[in-house]
Chains A and B, each alone.
Chain A
Amino acid sequence: MSTAALAIAALLAASLPGSYACEIAQTTVVTENGVLSGAPNQFPEAHRPGWRFGVEVRERANATPEVEVRWPPASLIELGGTYAAVVLEPNHLVVTAMARSCLFGSTNCPVLIQLAAREDGSLGFTILPTGLTRRARGSSELTQMNIIFTGSCRRQNGS
């Protein structure tokens, strides 16, 4: 295959529109003091089904792309919804979502979700939520605790 053909194939493969099955692979806990050492960065296998979700990226004429997030309703962070995306650069999008269940905040839970196309047709994602936790056991004072989720999305057949 020529260099030009390879470049075109890579461009097509790194295109975002389509449906994807996503799974969180890593978590990182960031507090006011930096990374919380010792916090688990992966989920136990038994919990994995609760950390899978679906994403559909749709192009729209004369408008920004739209991202539909389908998250199991019983999961801990309910980010399901359809959101207009901001293009960070070609094939890299970010949406602002509002979690319905405030696991990491008490009144409103804004979350950034970044999606990045890879050359193999899959996506990488990062979920950046706001977050709070009690400063100490039994304390009513809240302090920042942001749990960053990263993982991959596999393109679903035919999309």
Chain B
Amino acid sequence: MVIALLLAATAALSGSYDCLIDRQVVINERGVQPGAVVDLDGTEGEAWRFSVRLIEHRNAATQVEVRWPANPIQIAGTQASLDVGPGHLAFLAMSRPPCMFTETNCMALIQLSARADGSAAFTIMPTGLAGDGSSGRTQLHVIFTGTCRRQDGS
């Protein structure tokens, strides 16, 4: 019982995290495209890193602040979140152009999940299109998954 309570207590989202994209999955109208990747500004370091801060409110939804200086996929900002399960949140990020994957508006659904070791996992699911005006556009989604490490003292 005590162990179960301790596990439940650790698998909660709170404080601040440093996050890094580990994997990409490219999906078009025909399904997964193995081996396809998106280059985030040609760098493998800072452009892939962002941080997240949970802002908790009494009697209101937890807000999620995404700090991403490079902001290559336009999800930086502070958004209200929804619980999707114990220790699991989802939120929508919307932005005006320029957008990496669309033109007029950008939108992504982001899921953040506490792990028992105090870290968090994330999935970023942006809307997306590929092609040009002459050949027509088709849907193309780059799903990003990765890990967030809790910042010291948070």
Contacts and interface: CB of A to CB of B under 8 A. Distances in A.
Contacts, number: 145
A32 B112 CA distance: 11
A28 B11 CA distance: 27
B111 A130 contact: yes
B151 interface: no
Contacts of A76: none
Which among A92, A96, A143, A148 has the greatest number of chain B C-beta atoms within 10 A?
A92
A125 B27 CA distance: 12
B104 interface: yes
B102 A112 contact: no
B82 A110 contact: yes
Nearest to A108: B82
B42 interface: no
A33 interface: yes
B47 to A, nearest CB: 20
B153 interface: no
Contact of B109 (A32, A110, A150): A110
Which among B82, B94, B107, B137 has the greatest number of chain A C-beta atoms within 10 A?
B137
A148 B7 contact: no
For the complex, would chain B's binding face be called helix, strand, loop or mixed by DSSP majority?
Answer: strand
Nearest to B91: A110
B7 A132 contact: no
Nearest to A7: B134
Interface stretch (B51-59, B64-72, B123-131): B123-131
Which among A34, A90, A152 has the greatest number of chain B C-beta atoms within 10 A?
A34
Which among B84, B90, B109, B137 has the greatest number of chain A C-beta atoms within 10 A?
B84
Contact of A144 (B4, B28, B113, B136): B113
A26 B85 contact: no
Nearest to A32: B121
Contacts of A108: 82-84, 90
Given A92-B129, A125-B139, 14 more contacts: A10-B136, A32-B121, A32-B123, A89-B129, A109-B84, A110-B90, A112-B109, A124-B29, A124-B139, A128-B109, A142-B113, A144-B113, A146-B143, A150-B27
Q: Which 7 pairs between the two chains have the least Cβ-Cβ distance?
A: A106-B85, A26-B31, A105-B84, A89-B103, A88-B102, A128-B125, A34-B23
